[in-house]
Amino acid sequence: MRSSRCKSRKGLAQVVTTLMLLAFSILLSGVAIYYSLNIVSVRLQTEDVRLTKQEIWVNSSGAVGAVMVQNLGGKDLLIDKIEVRGVEQVWTTVWFFRVAEGTSVSDALNVTHYDNLTGSPTIDGRQYTQGSSDLPLASGRDMILYIKGPDNVAVQDIGTTISISLFTMNAQYVTECNVKSAT
């Protein structure tokens, strides 16, 4: 009789072991889901910038560049620097327009003459402001930039591809376009 009694106390029942394994696997999958959601939520708070409608026009008076900046990311950003063909542009040669929330710019950016970029010019019914320092751009918003007289663009560059680079605290965004005649 004694031997049968020892056999019954030998280990955990099969049902208890199965329940423990099931509880452990559920706990482990819960931790994995929590970790995945944490990564996704952090990713939503990153920068995502799109440069569109890029143009550079040139004639004997000078060159003008234009680009639309779209902040598609989950956080606001600060535009630190703009380069055209690798040369940094001084803020006083940059004019900007913040597109109103809920509106979009569907048409192409207009050719603007070099001499028109003074003071607070109006282009396509939009009043532009001359830059003086770094430009903030809220999440989900758009901004149109006009650059007066990029130093290294001349009439001889018509037809060549030129880069426009935008720098923020975290990244550099680059787009390219062909130089067009402004006449």
Distance from chain centroid for Cα 170: 10
Residue that is written with structure tokens 């004019």 in the block: 95
**pLDDT in the model for residue 73:** 82
**pLDDT in the model for residue 40:** 67
**pLDDT in the model for residue 82:** 92
Judged against a pLDDT cut of 90, whether residue 110 lies above it is answered with no
Prediction pTM value: 0.72
Q: Which residue would you say has higher pLDDT here, 3 or 180?
A: 180
Cβ 117 vs Cβ 146: under 8 Å? yes
For residue 48, give the amino acid letter: D
Mean pLDDT along residues 5-9: 55
Percent of the chain whose pLDDT exceeds 70: 90
Cβ 146 vs Cβ 95: under 8 Å? yes
**pLDDT in the model for residue 39:** 72
**pLDDT band at residue 43 under the 50/70/90 scheme:** low
Judged against a pLDDT cut of 80, whether residue 42 lies above it is answered with no
Distances (CA, A) of 103 to 108, 127, 136: 15, 15, 19
Distance in angstroms (rounded) separating the CA atoms of residues 142 and 77: 12
Judged against a pLDDT cut of 90, whether residue 59 lies above it is answered with no
**pLDDT in the model for residue 143:** 92
Q: Would you list the DSSP string of 94-156?
A: EEEEEPPTT----SPPPP--GGG-SSS-EETTEE-EE--S-EEE-TT-EEEEEEE--TT--GG
Distance in angstroms (rounded) separating the CA atoms of residues 63 and 181: 9
49-59 and 62-71 strand pairing: antiparallel
